[in-house]
Amino acid sequence: MKFVRDYLVIFTVIGIVVALAFNNVILPLYVNWNDEIRVPSLTHTDLQKATQILNERSLEWTIKDTIFRRDIPSRFIMDQYPEAGQMVKENRKIQLTINLPPAKMEMPDLIAITERQATIALDRLGLFLVETLADSSDQYEKTVVIDQSVAAGLPVAPGDSIVLTVSLGKRNLKKIMPDLLNKGLDEATRILELNGFSLGEVQTTQNSDLLPKTVVHQSVTSGREFPRERVIRVDLMITDGF
């Protein structure tokens, strides 16, 4: 029994010595070998936690690169250099690649370009076209963008939602024939053009009661309505010179 007890005492002492050696010699050598520090694994942790881990090991960090993924939390570490497990000197800066939203950019001006062109421009900037509305326009042809939900020049970021309005073409508008009687020829011509009509033939007649080149008759009666896009030529009769 005494022989067994002596062996137990010896093995116990050896175990204590080995444990102390592991804690005070082997483990420090693993972490700090020849004044070098083993790089910890920082990927898949946030920047705040990584900073704490590095500070505990007398290491620093710097941003090597940034990427952006909407499905990953912001400031999440995606990659590191040197890799985990490598030995580095104290105060070495570990280069990190982190997930960060890109900086704001300016919304482009999409008015007066086609819907296809606008869609391509939005896609290149990472902006999402969530809806396309349509409305009539006298200024823009069909499929041309006439409005955008975010005005040009305002800050936007990839992933923002944009709504566009495109033209259905001209409205079913009317133009009304003006009254040209007793107007001078030059004035009558300007009035016709302003109202969407064209000057046709001009004939003359004698009339001593009115000044020369005064309109005394128009081929289209004033007040008549026509579709705005229809071409209407108006013949005039004016007074002759004395």
pLDDT in tens, 148-161: 999 999 988 888 89
73 and 15 share one domain: yes
The CA-CA-CA angle for residues 104, 146, 117, to 5°, reads 65
CA distances from 31 to 45, 57, 65, 85, 127 (A): 20, 9, 27, 9, 47
Closest by CA position to 93, among listed 63, 73, 123: 63
95 and 16 share one domain: yes
Note the pLDDT of residue 34. Answer: 57
Note the pLDDT of residue 104. Answer: 77
Determine the structural domain holding residue 14 and report its residue range: 2-99
Question: The domain spanning residue 15 has which CATH number?
Answer: 3.30.10.20
Note the pLDDT of residue 173. Answer: 73
Does the structure show a pLDDT above 60 at 168? yes
Confidence label for 5 from pLDDT (cuts 50, 70 and 90): low
Note the pLDDT of residue 31. Answer: 47
pTM score above 0.85: no
56 and 15 share one domain: yes
Tokens, residue 121: 């421009």
162 and 81 share one domain: no
Q: How far apart are CA 225 and CA 185, in angstroms?
A: 22
End of a domain among 145, 167, 189? 167
163 and 178 share one domain: no
